[in-house]
Amino acid sequence: MASPTAAGRRPLIGVLLVLASAAAIAVAPTAAKLALDAGGNTPTVVAARAVVGAALVALLIAWSGQAFAVDREARKRCFRAGVFYALGSAGFIGSVAFIPVSLAVLIVFTHPLLVAAVSHRLGGDRLTPRKLALALAALAGLALALRPEAGGLDPAGIGLAAFGAVAACGMILLTARAQERATNLQVNFHMAALTAAAFAVGATAAGAWSFPSGLVGWLGLFGAGAGLAVGLLAFFAAFRHIGPVRASMISNVEPLLSILVAVAVLGESLGPWQWGGAALVVAALVLFEAPGRGGRP
């Protein structure tokens, strides 16, 4: 039995893992932009980052001495989670061809609310009025921080982004189930391998391979894959400490960190409304994690 001190630290460990995950994943969009600017294209960057992610997780499994194989039920659960992950990525990537990236990100990040609602419906974490209000406040803060453009609201793009949000919700809940029968590394490897194979076959069939040129472009390609792989490992590891609902809600900081990375690396700037939106997101998440009237969150 764990000591009280160790048990008391577990929620904090979960929160820190999600924040580490958000920081790692936040690097991916800027790294991908560097690869695109160096001559790569979207299908190549998406496929290559999945391949890099799968290779890194495979190395971690080999280094840790874990088995690559899992039992039949775990394999089925990993496969389902991987399908939803691939569908979510395809939905988001497809949406940005029709609507601004900021709007696509905002729509996709409705998935923490979906995770909370589905978990509530299945008898998991309860979505109280207080939690719902704070989740909506965090979403409103994201809207201010991302400044989504309202022009050209193509229904196809909105539908694809919404599809990405639903798929992300399914992937999170299915991954939590898969980790009941396999380790975090094993689940991530099977998910990443499936996604890498799907996108690589798609890029090959479409004849769409176009790799970046120069060291910066290749570093961007590797950084996109490494950031995503490390981010997902940390995010899914947090499930054992705080559960998928709280982990998903805290992951709302990810777009904020992506903006800050873009400011630091690409020279983008933030306006007062964006800073205000970021502050609203942080305040809402802090209150979401704070104990309510009933005690512990």
Of 154-163, 173-182, 200-209, 256-265, least confident by mean pLDDT is 256-265
Nearest residue to 184 (alpha-carbon basis) of 232, 146, 218: 232
> What tens digit of pLDDT does each residue of 135-191 get?
888 888 888 887 766 555 678 888 988 998 999 999 999 999 899 888 999 999 988
CA 142, CA 106: separation in Å to the nearest integer? 7
> What tens digit of pLDDT does each residue of 83-120 get?
998 888 888 877 877 877 778 888 888 999 899 999 88
**Spatial CB neighbours of 235, under 8 Å, sequence gap ≥ 6:** 17, 18, 21, 25, 247, 251
Is 162 or 126 the better-scoring residue by pLDDT?
162
Model pTM greater than 0.85?
A: no
Could you tell me if 232 and 21 are in contact, meaning their C-beta atoms sit under 8 angstroms apart? yes
Q: Which two tokens stand for residue 285?
A: 């998440």
> Hey, CA dihedral for 107, 99, 142, 254, is it positive or negative?
positive
CA 145, CA 277: separation in Å to the nearest integer? 5
> What tens digit of pLDDT does each residue of 10-52 get?
788 888 999 999 888 888 777 887 888 888 887 888 888 888 8
Nearest residue to 17 (alpha-carbon basis) of 251, 264, 287: 251
CA 51, CA 49: separation in Å to the nearest integer? 5
CA 257, CA 87: separation in Å to the nearest integer? 24
Whether the pLDDT of residue 1 is over 50: the answer is no
Could you tell me if 270 and 144 are in contact, meaning their C-beta atoms sit under 8 angstroms apart? no
What pLDDT shows up at residue 84? Answer: 92
Q: Tokens 């419906």 correspond to what residue?
A: 121
Could you tell me if 142 and 106 are in contact, meaning their C-beta atoms sit under 8 angstroms apart? yes
Determine the average pLDDT of the residues in 214-236.
89
Q: pLDDT band at residue 276, thresholds of 50, 70 and 90?
A: confident
Nearest residue to 220 (alpha-carbon basis) of 10, 30, 9, 63: 30
